[in-house]
Amino acid sequence: MTNEDTDTHETVTGHVKWFDPTKGFGFVVSDDGGPDILLHANVLRNFGQSSVADSANITVTVQKTTRGIQAVEVIDIAPPEGNFASTLTDLMGIDTETIELSPLEPARVKWFDKGKGFGFANVFGRDEDVFIHIEILRSSGFADLQPGEAVCLRVMDGQRGRMATFVASWEASLKDDQ
């Protein structure tokens, strides 16, 4: 930190303009207006996620620097407005309250291909893979997953086997248990 950086931090609520995990950064737009806020991948990783969906609602602590405003901590991420997953055949007729009441299960991402729109994870202590659809990922506030990433999943038996109905970061799910 240079002398021109300020030590004062403020909390800002807004939405993700875009985030590119490959580039390692993205931008947040404050609900109160003003310049875009830089969101670096390391700050997001400290929250427990490797990506965040465009338009996700986000609360961050920011710091003004000589290069502009930068997020220094992610406080909260909420999925974008709208139910992207409601069109999935496997979830048709399932009450959202039933999904929300199912337990979070610890899992590790086996692989996820954003281009194909799906991937798989392994729930700890279970043999079968869990299917993760890109729309479930987006409706959970993620844009992508990395192999080996630790997450928590709400899982149900679908028409083609076990599938995720919700994805949470490992750290966020631990905070919910407190």
Report how far residue 161's alpha carbon sits from residue 90's, in angstroms, rounded to the nearest whole number. Answer: 10
How crowded is the C-beta side of 47, counted as CA atoms within 13 Å?
24
Domain definitions of the chain by residue range:
9-78, 84-177
Q: What is the per-residue pLDDT across 20-38, written as a single tens digit (0 to 9) for each?
A: 888 999 999 999 999 999 9
The reply to whether CATH 3.20.20.140 applies to domain 9-78 is no
Q: What is the per-residue pLDDT across 114-125, written as a single tens digit (0 to 9) for each?
A: 889 999 999 998
Q: What is the per-residue pLDDT across 83-102, written as a single tens digit (0 to 9) for each?
A: 545 556 666 556 667 767 78
Instruction: Please determine whether the domains at 9-78 and 84-177 fall in the same fold group of CATH.
Output: yes
Q: What is the CATH number of domain 84-177?
A: 2.40.50.140
Report how far residue 104's alpha carbon sits from residue 23's, in angstroms, rounded to the nearest whole number. Answer: 30
Q: What is the per-residue pLDDT across 120-164, written as a single tens digit (0 to 9) for each?
A: 999 998 988 999 999 899 888 888 999 999 999 999 887 778 999
The vertex-137 CA angle with 32 and 110, nearest 5°, equals 135
